[in-house]
């Protein structure tokens, strides 16, 4: 029996290298107000000492492909937190920004609940082996949006997500990101 066709393996390193740095990406938002919002969120986030210590203790390197566009509210909310974490990791982390349009074949692998939601942060090892992805929001809000879609009431789900964002202060997203950083930088299978 013949094997079914599979998707070609993407050249993640080439996709990463085609992207732009945070500074260049931030300097060219779709609208000036979006750049200001990104900067405002960036300045509002302060990592805990424990998070900084965990990032500085990484034993390897993580490369992150950020599929993001500045018009998106979830991009504006979550990208600055991820940047703070990349900065805290120092030379153990690097990130590059690409758009959906630049990499449609790659992006289609990350559809969420049937939608082309962003951001999608693709975490890769030093050798650009994909170890996981995150987005467009952390676990709890993503679950509520799926439930809202299933129940035909996305508006109620979005309201609950807004309340979550107000109360969570990016605790869940920080935890999610840190787990992906740690996985991407493993140099041996954990005992």
> What is the block-wise mean pLDDT of the chain (191 residues), using blocks of 10 residues?
72 96 92 90 94 94 95 93 97 95 86 83 96 93 92 92 89 95 87 74
Q: How far is CA 82 from CA 13, 128, 144, 148, 187, in A?
A: 20, 18, 22, 27, 22
Residue 101 covered by a domain? yes
Predicted confidence at residue 188, as pLDDT, reads: 78
Q: What six digits make up the tokens of 129?
A: 């082996």
Contact 188, 60 (CB under 8 A): no
Residue 2 covered by a domain? no
**pTM value > 0.85:** yes
For residue 15, give the H/E element and its range.
Answer: helix 12-18
Residue 189 covered by a domain? no
Residue 62 covered by a domain? yes
Residue 3 covered by a domain? no
What CA–CA distance (Å, rounded) separates 96 from 21? 5
What CA–CA distance (Å, rounded) separates 16 from 98? 8
Predicted confidence at residue 169, as pLDDT, reads: 82
Residue 126 covered by a domain? yes
DSSP one-letter string for 122-163: EEE-TT--EEEEE-SS-HHHHHHHHHHHHHT-HHHHHHHHHH
Predicted confidence at residue 85, as pLDDT, reads: 97
Total tally of structural domains belonging to the chain = 1
Q: What six digits make up the tokens of 39?
A: 């900067």
Residue 1 covered by a domain? no
Q: Shortest CA distance to 77 belongs to which of 30, 39, 27? A: 39
Q: Compute φ and ψ for 112, nearest 5 degrees.
A: -115, 120
What CA–CA distance (Å, rounded) separates 171 from 70? 22
Reported as half-sphere exposure (CB side, CA atoms, 13 A), residue 34 has a value of 17
**113: phi > 0 → left, psi -120 to 50 → alpha, else beta; which?**
left
Residue 93 covered by a domain? yes
CATH code of the domain containing 103: 3.40.30.10
Instruction: Give the residue numbers spanning the domain of 102.
Output: 12-184
């Amino acid at each position: 029996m013949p094997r079914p066709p599979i998707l070609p393996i993407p050249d993640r390193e080439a996709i990463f290298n085609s992207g732009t740095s945070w500074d260049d990406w931030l300097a060219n938002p779709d609208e000036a107000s979006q750049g200001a919002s990104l900067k405002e969120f960036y300045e509002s986030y302060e990592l805990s000492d424990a998070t900084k210590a965990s990032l500085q203790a990484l034993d390897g390197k993580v490369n992150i492909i950020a599929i993001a566009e500045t018009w998106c509210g979830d991009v504006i909310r979550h990208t600055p937190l991820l940047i703070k974490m990349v900065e805290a990791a120092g030379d153990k982390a690097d990130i590059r920004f690409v758009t959906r349009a630049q990499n449609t074949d790659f992006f289609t692998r990350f559809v969420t609940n049937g939608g082309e939601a962003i951001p999608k942060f693709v975490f890769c090892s030093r050798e650009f082996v994909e170890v996981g992805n995150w987005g467009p929001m952390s676990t709890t809000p993503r679950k509520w949006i799926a439930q809202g879609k299933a129940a035909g009431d996305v508006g109620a789900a979005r309201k609950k997500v807004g309340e979550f964002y107000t109360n969570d202060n990016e605790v869940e997203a920080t935890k999610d990101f840190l787990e992906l950083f740690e996985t991407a930088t493993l140099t041996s299978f954990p005992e």
